[in-house]
A and B are shown apart, each in its own frame.
Chain A
Amino acid sequence: MYEIGGRRLGVRWSQPGLANSLARLARAYAGPGDAPPNLSVVVGGSRGRAKDKHHLYVQGRHLSATADDGRLLRSVIRAASALVATPTTEQLRLDALPVVAPDGSVVIVDHGLDHELRAIQRRIEQRGYRVLDCAAVALDPSAGQVVLPDARAAFDLDAQAFTERFPTGAADDDLGALQAPIAGIVYACHQAPASRAAEVAFLGALARTQQGTLRTEDVARFPELTDRTPAVPYVFTDPPALIDLVTARR
């Protein structure tokens, strides 16, 4: 169990090894407890030289899979810090993944496209993009910026020891705070929106709360957001190449 920003967060592990590694490096670790399992980690096993992937679930939903121990722990730290972050009144919390482009701008990708995004993740990483494993992403529509908290600070992480034990790869999340312009939003839909109102209706679904409800004032912020930021539909009935949508120059 971790205590982050005054909130108790349960992380359930299928095996203790990596759980103990993180607990030793994060001062936010509050010992074993009965907090609800907000995050669940299924640690991959080894078969000779082959290694199964670890899987991270956030509130019952699959978020990421990797065979790399360091990358798994980075995902846990980033996902948990984003989960407990409370957006300010200026911010909008979206059910989406931030993808950081080589120029530092961020493409927001609908969580409904997780499967498609993970299928191209390795290829876009080769082009210098980084997928940050956030359960949700906060953004400021009026500024057109993504705002992510410093995940290292949230976990009170011994950053030096962590990096020595788990070196940061080129495509890895450095876990730092991020305030960056939004280059675009890619959202899932069943058919191409026929109007700007339809686009707002589709995008509005990204602002669902964790309880599955929607606030009108949140949906009302999308016209302002899309005035400054291009929103691109990914139509399931006629799917384009997601890699082109994510890496398009805007």
Chain B
Amino acid sequence: MSRRGVPLNLIAGGAIVAVIVTAAIIGPIIAPYPYDEFHANARFQPPNPPYWFGTDEFGRDIFSRVLTGTRLSLFIGVLATAISLVLGIPLGLVAGYYRGRIDEMIMRTMDLFMSFPPIILGLLILAVTPPSIWKTSGAVGLVYVPIMVRLIRSVTLDLMEEEFILAARARGERTIYILASEILPNAWPPIIVEGSLRITFAILLGAALSFLGMGAQPPSSDWGLMISAARPYLLIAPWIALAPGLAMCIAVIGINLVGDGLREILDPRLRHRWRA
């Protein structure tokens, strides 16, 4: 499945992701219409030029809305994953390094949070405050912290067995140094693979929360929100719901492929490439 050493997954996925990221960055600029511009005389148009994906109940161009929505979905996905890493990496490192009581405490707390189904935990956090995209990203990030902590803890536990760690401790290096400069640099491969897959989960969870009304708010063109708003019109204008859904499908598949491809490259090297 490789061409010149680069997995096919990565090439195909990378192409898709490149398109998505480009859309996210320049989408609002190249969109033919502003995402919230009504065209009262062109409501419920089926996909046809000049409205490539058709129009919705207000006459807004779906193509432009999907394009501008790319930015939102990607934003939630990346920010949530970043939050889960920023919180999860230190906790995982500490739990794996110190073990004993501290490890117990951290893992018990993580177990507690994992006792909630993910959506429910997200709803719990968002239910009591007026919704916004930042809060949704934060909630999704928090939901995924326990998983990150588990992963990093287990990687740390593996690494603690290595001789160069023992050497560093014998040298009398400070803990922070060991964690940051010996363990962390060698922990990147699984973190990268897991992180990239986490982005897809974060996008899906964020879309679900927006669908339920706990994320982006109208007139924003977040994909989950668009699908939710399209529900009364499913039988007369299905494109309003199908377009954002398909966009989400493509984005998730693309990122998944990249994650799979990264795993293929990074996995064999996981065991053999230590920086001493």
**Do the two chains belong together in a single complex?**
no
Contact surface of B with A, Cβ cutoff 8 Å: none
Contact surface of A with B, Cβ cutoff 8 Å: none
